[in-house]
Amino acid sequence: MKIAILTRGPQLYSTRCLQEAAIQRGHEVTLINPLYCYMNIASHNPSIHYRGEELPRFDAIIPRIGASITFYGTALVRQFEMMHTYSINRSIAITRSRDKLRCLQLLSSKGVGLPITGFSHSPSDITDLIAMVGGAPLVIKLLEGTQGVGVVLAETTKAAESVIEAFLGLRVNIMVQEYIRESNGADIRCLVIGNKVVAAMERKAKAGEFRSNLHRGGKSKIIKLTLQERKTAILAAKLMGLNFAGVDMLRSDRGPLIMEVNSSPGLEGIQNTTGINVAEMAIKFMEENLTSKDGKFLVIHS
Ligand SMILES: Nc1ncnc2c1ncn2[C@@H]1O[C@H](COP(=O)(O)OP(=O)(O)OP(=O)(O)O)[C@@H](O)[C@H]1O
Ligand SMILES: [Mg+2]
């Protein structure tokens, strides 16, 4: 197969693993920076140009679209789809999961467990917003936050009010969420490929911290999932339409609660923790989806 990895980080661990796995399995790999691509959409013959030249046809792409370039990146993935190139994660699925609220709304509509979550634009009724999610202690999150930055635990109603007021005063979008105390500073990352959880790890916050992000000093270890956790992770990825996803959940007294579904899951933490070659499994999945019964590569009309 001719595979393109859409990434702005050719040197990143995940990119290199995917590249190496694909080469090892006999594929030709090109790394493409999405921001250097420009597209011709005004004809019956869609094309993509890259730094002055038209790109050749690829059989498949692996989009690794960062949050800061979601709009342009997903447009590019869509353009590849219009050219009948198979994408492990389709553009629409990336868009669905990238918008955290849209993701949670979709999951809740299908009965997937979530922490009770409120969302507000204006500070007009903070008291009711807090009451709506069950009162303090509660977690307040910047919608655009990542690696635990902008995730605050407010222990009291007073603290919650001040933090919400401050965030909304800055005109940023926030989520207000029930604090899942019994998760004990730990969360679970499930790596889903197709219909399977291929690897899972627990991340545990360091002492005195409730955020388990590895970037905040959290430690990871391999974990055995319950059947319900496994099913929930698979369902969450499926509802997003993602074939390759990182599903984050909290263990609670009422079962697994999904926090987020990630369409460009990082591979370093999960591979080092579990020893599982997730990158190779992703490439194999693509092969299976692009190979017909007689062994020829198919082009899937997306
Ligand atoms: N409702 C909650 N109850 C208990 N702990 C939580 C809750 N929400 C988040 N946490 C803890 O805080 C950590 C960071 O939260 P979250 O994953 O939502 O934000 P982020 O890591 O900054 O964003 P992203 O995962 O999109 O990069 C989680 O990994 C989890 O350990
Ligand atoms: Mg997180």
Predicted pLDDT at 42: 74
Residue 251 pLDDT class (50, 70, 90 cuts): very high
Residue of 139, 211, 212, 214 best suited for mutating to test ligand 1, as the one with most atoms within 8 Å of CB: 211
* C-beta of 187 in contact with ligand 1 (< 6 A): yes
Q: Is pLDDT at 297 greater than 80 in this prediction?
A: no
Predicted pLDDT at 206: 95
Residue with the nearest Cα to atom 18 of ligand 1? 259
Residue of 107, 190, 213, 223 best suited for mutating to test ligand 1, as the one with most atoms within 8 Å of CB: 213
Residue with the nearest Cα to atom 23 of ligand 1? 146
Ligand 2 centroid vs 74 CA: distance in angstroms? 22
Predicted pLDDT at 302: 36
Residues 6+ apart with CB under 8 A from 216: 147, 148, 205, 206, 209
Q: Is pLDDT at 72 greater than 80 in this prediction?
A: yes
Domains recognised in the chain with CATH numbers: 2-96 (3.40.50.20), 117-179 (3.30.1490.20), 182-281 (3.30.470.20)
What is the average per-residue pLDDT within 8-22?
A: 97
CB 94 within 8 A of CB 260: no
Predicted pLDDT at 40: 86
Residue of 259, 260, 262, 263 best suited for mutating to test ligand 1, as the one with most atoms within 8 Å of CB: 259
Predicted pLDDT at 124: 75
Summarize pLDDT for 74-132 with one digit per residue, the tens.
999 999 999 999 999 999 999 999 998 899 999 999 999 999 999 887 767 888 999 99
Token representation of residue 183: 């998760």
Ligand 2 centroid vs 146 CA: distance in angstroms? 6
What is the average per-residue pLDDT within 18-42?
A: 95
* Sign of the Cα pseudo-torsion (179, 180, 185, 187, in order): negative
* C-beta of 141 in contact with ligand 1 (< 6 A): yes
Summarize pLDDT for 192-250 with one digit per residue, the tens.
999 999 999 999 999 999 999 988 999 999 999 999 999 999 999 999 999 999 999 99
Give 46 or 298, the one with higher predicted confidence.
46
Percent of the chain predicted with pLDDT > 70: 95
* Sign of the Cα pseudo-torsion (138, 142, 147, 149, in order): negative
Task: Put residue 237 in one of left, alpha, beta given phi > 0 → left and psi -120 to 50 → alpha.
Answer: alpha
Summarize pLDDT for 162-203 with one digit per residue, the tens.
999 998 888 888 999 999 999 999 999 999 999 999 999 999
Residue 45 pLDDT class (50, 70, 90 cuts): confident
* DSSP states of 262-292: ESS--SHHHHHHH---HHHHHHHHHHHHHB-
Please give the Cα distance from 175 to 228 (Å, whole number). Answer: 26
Give 32 or 43, the one with higher predicted confidence.
32
Predicted pLDDT at 292: 59
Considering the entire predicted model, what is its pTM?
A: 0.94
Lowest mean pLDDT among 8-17, 117-126, 293-302: 293-302
**Closest ligand (CA of 205):** 1
Residue 41 pLDDT class (50, 70, 90 cuts): confident
Residues 6+ apart with CB under 8 A from 135: 157
Summarize pLDDT for 113-122 with one digit per residue, the tens.
999 999 887 7
Please give the Cα distance from 14 to 137 (Å, whole number). Answer: 36
**Which numbered atom of ligand 1 lies nearest the CA of 149?**
22
